[in-house]
Amino acid sequence: MEIPGIHHVTAVTGDAQRNVDFYSGILGMRLVKLTVNYDDPSVYHIYYGDGTGRPGSLLTFFAWPGASRGRLGTGLAANVALGIAPDAAGYWTGRLERHGVECAAMNVRDRGEVIAFKDPDGLAVDLVPRAAGDEVAPWAGGGVPPRYAIGGIYGVTLFVKRAAETAAFLGTLGLRRQSTRGSRVRCVAADGGPGAVIEVAEFPLLEAGSVSAGTVHHVALRAPDAASQRSWRDRIVEAGIPVTRVIDRTYFRSIYFREPGGVLLEIATDGPGFAVDEAVQRLGSALMLPESLAAHRERLARQLPPLRLPQAA
C-alpha cells in the first residue's frame, strides 16, 4: 500500500476576514468551502484549493478569533510549501511586493527558485517550483493568470526531536526516503505528484511547539477510498500508535493519530468531495453546515463574524 500524498494541511488563523483577503485576494486560491469546525462549531473552518478542491490542492484554516501567536517547535509542521509553475517566481515576487508582503527569493538545490514569506498570522509559506509534468488545475478566477496560479500543496516540513523515528514511521505509511542531508530527511509519496514531499528536520534541543495562530494544526494524508483507509488504520494500530475511529467530515472521512515525533496527522479519503452539498460553480459562496448542525444555523450565523469575499486583484 502507498499513500498518494498530502490531502490537505490545516493551520490556525486569528482573523477569518484577514485570512480570506490574503489567501483568496492576494494568493488567488479559490475558497472552496466555508463551514465550521465540526468539533467547535463556534468558529469557521475555511478551505482553499484549486477550482474543484481536489485532494492535494487544499490548505485549510481554523479561525480562532483573536488567537495569540503560536510557538514554533518540535511536534509541529513548521511551514507549508505551495506548488507553482517552474517559471513563476518572478511573477510572484512582483505580486507579493505590490501587496506589501515581504518575501525572499532563494535558489534551493534540487528545487530551483523558492519564494519564502509569512502570512498575516506569521505562518511560514514557501512557493516552490513543481515538476513540469505534475497534473494540476489551478483556479483561474482568483486574479492570478492560470499559468502562474498556485497548483496545490507541494509539501511540508516537520520539526521533531528524532528524525529517524519519524522517517521510519512515514515509511510504514508507504512514503519513500529520498535523501538525507545533515539532520534533515526528505520523504516522498510514491507517485511524486502534488503534495508528495514531507521533510523531517531534527531539533533535539528545541522546545515543543504550541498550536495557535500562525501554526499548522495538522497534516492530512490521502487515502483513495474507505477500504484503503481501514487498511491504514489497521497498520497504525499494529505499529502501537493510538488512532481515532473513522470520523465523518462530510467531504471526506478521517482518522487522526500522532506520529512518534508528536506531529498530529490525519488520513482522509479522497471522496466524496466538496460538491456533495454545493454546485461546483458555487463552491465557497455560502456557509455550509453538516446535517447534525443544520437546526442551529440561525444561532451559528449570529455567532460567526460576517465574511466578504475579496475582489480579484
In the structure grid, which three cell numbers stand for residue 204, read together? 533535539
| Residue 190 pLDDT greater than 90, yes or no | no
Enclosing H/E stretch for 77: strand 76-84
| Residue 309: predicted pLDDT | 79
Give yes or no for residue 5 having a pLDDT over 80.
yes
What confidence tens digit (pLDDT) does each residue in 96-133 have?
Answer: 999 999 999 998 767 779 999 999 999 999 999 987 66
DSSP string, 232-254: HHHHHHHTT--BPPPEE-SSSEE
pLDDT at 32: 95
Q: What are the tens digits of pLDDT across the range 251-295?
A: 999 999 999 999 999 999 999 999 999 999 999 999 999 999 999
Give the mean pLDDT of the chain.
94
Across the range 38-67, mean pLDDT stands at 96
Residues in the chain: 313
- Which tens digit of pLDDT belongs to each residue from 239-255? 999 999 999 999 999 99
Predicted local distance difference test score (pLDDT) of residue 313: 47
Helices (H), 99-202: 163-172
The pLDDT of residue 112 is 79
Instruction: Determine the pLDDT at residue 242.
Output: 98
- Integer CA distances (angstroms), 279 to 29, 31, 273, 284, in order: 18, 13, 11, 10
State whether residue 278 is helix, strand or coil.
Answer: coil
Pairing of strands 112-118, 40-49: unpaired
Q: Is the pTM of this model over 0.85?
A: yes
Burial of 111 (0-12, 13-18, 19+ CB in 10 A): middle
* Domains parsed from the chain with CATH numbers: 6-303 (3.10.180.10)
Give me the pLDDT at residue 133, please: 61
User: Does pLDDT of 60 surpass 50?
Assistant: yes
